[in-house]
Amino acid sequence: MSTADLLYSEAEDDLRAAVRSLLTDRCPPATVMSEAESGRAYDVALWRALGAEMGTAGLLVPDKLGGQGATAREAAVVMEELGRAVASVPYLTSAVLAAVALLGCDTGQEAVARLLGAVAEGRTVGALAVPLSTVAVVPGGGSGAPAATVRADGDSTLSGQVSGVAGAAGADVLLVPATGADGYGLYAVETAETSVTVEPLTSLDLTRPLAAVTVTGAPARRLAGPDRAEAAIGRALLTGAGLLASEQLGVAEWCLTETVRHTKERHQFGRPIGSFQALKHRMAALWLELVSARATARYAADALATDSPDAPVAVAVAQAHCAEVAVHAAEECVQLHGGIGMTWEHPAHLYLKRAKSDEIALGAPGRHRQALAALVDLPAPTG
C-alpha cells in the first residue's frame, strides 16, 4: 500500500492538457450555464468531441474490447478537469459507472461485448439505473449491490421504478439491477422503448440532472445473473466513488483559484480584499485542504488502477475527505465573492450545487466513515 504512485505521469499531464484545452474552448462557464438552462440532458456536441473523438469514453475499457486500455489513474485526471469545468457530460455515468458495470459482466458474451464497445467508443450513452446516492459496496462494511426495485419477469421484460438516477435522461441504454425468478441480475433496456419512461427531475445540481426511470414490461436483455451482477455493480460503484473524489478535487481547485483571483482584484477600504489577513487565512486553509485532498484522490485512483486490496479503504478515505473539501471550497467561493457570488450570472453557484450533490453522490461522507469503521477495525460502541 505504501508503494502507490501519488504523482501524475507525463502521459497523464498530456491527457490533462488536451482535456483542459478542449473544455476551455468548448465549455466556458457561460456555455455551461446556457446548456443547463436548455433542457437538454447534457452537452451533446461537447460529449462527441470529448468522449468519442478524443477517446475518453473508453479509457477504462481494454483495447480488445474497443476502448483505450488506460486505467483509473487516467480517468481520474479527466474527472478532475470535468470538475474544474463543471461540465455537463455523461462521463461519470456512462464512461465510468456503465462501462465498469459492463466490464464486470461476461465480456465473452456477444451482447455484452457489443454494448461495451459502443459505450467505450462514445457511440452509445449508458447509465447504471441506481439512485445516485447509492453507496459503494464495501467488503465487510456493507451487503452486496443495492436492493433491486425492479422486477424481472422471465428474463426478457422488466417492471418497476428507480428514482434519482443520474445520466438516465439522455442515455441510450439503461443498465438495470432487477430481481427475477433466478435471483438478482443486471439487465439492459433501451430507452427508446415505449415501455420505458425517463422523467427528468428538478435537481439541485443543474449540470448533472437526475431522472426517475419507470419500466412497464419493458423488453430487456440479461447481461449478468446472480453469479456476477452484484460484484459488477459493486465494482462500478466503488470505481465511481473513487473517481468522484478527483472530480471533487477539480471543483475545489476551480473554487480556490477563482476566489484568489477575485480577492486580488476586488478593492474595498482602499486595498485589495485579498490582503486582509482574515480572508488570506481562509484561502490558505483551503489550499491546505486541497493538498491532502489531492493525495487521497490520487491514492484512490492508483489503488483502483492496480486493483489493490486496499482499494475499499482508499476510496472510503478519499470520499469522506474530498467531498467535504469540495463543499467547503464552494461555500467559501460564494462567501468571499460577496454579493456577486449569490447571483445567477456568476458561475460560483454551479460549483456549489455540484459540490453539494457530489457530497451525497455514491455515499455521503458519514457513510464512508461508517464503512471505514469496519474496514480498519474501529468498531462502534455496542448498545
**Residues in touch with another protein (CB under 8 A):** 1-2, 4-7, 256, 260, 263-264, 271-272, 274-275, 277, 280-281, 283-285, 287-288, 291-296, 298-299, 316-317, 320-321, 369-370, 372-373, 376-382
Of 205 and 359, nearer to another protein (C-beta) is: 359
Q: How far is the CB of 372 from another protein (least distance, A)?
A: 6
Q: How far is the CB of 264 from another protein (least distance, A)?
A: 6
Q: How far is the CB of 133 from another protein (least distance, A)?
A: 20
Of 210 and 283, nearer to another protein (C-beta) is: 283
What is the C-alpha to C-alpha distance for residues 247 and 250, in angstroms, rounded to an integer?
5
Of 218 and 318, nearer to another protein (C-beta) is: 318
Q: How far is the CB of 279 from another protein (least distance, A)?
A: 8
Of 321 and 349, nearer to another protein (C-beta) is: 321
State the helix-helix crossing angle for 277-305 and 72-85, rounded to 10 degrees: 150
**What's the start-to-end Cα distance of the chain, in Å?**
34
Of 294 and 353, nearer to another protein (C-beta) is: 294
Of 40 and 267, nearer to another protein (C-beta) is: 267
Cell output for 307:
486493483
Beta-carbon contacts of residue 242 (< 8 Å; ≥ 6 apart): 72, 76, 136, 300, 301, 303, 304, 311, 314, 315, 318, 319
Q: How far is the CB of 8 from another protein (least distance, A)?
A: 10
Q: How far is the CB of 263 from another protein (least distance, A)?
A: 7
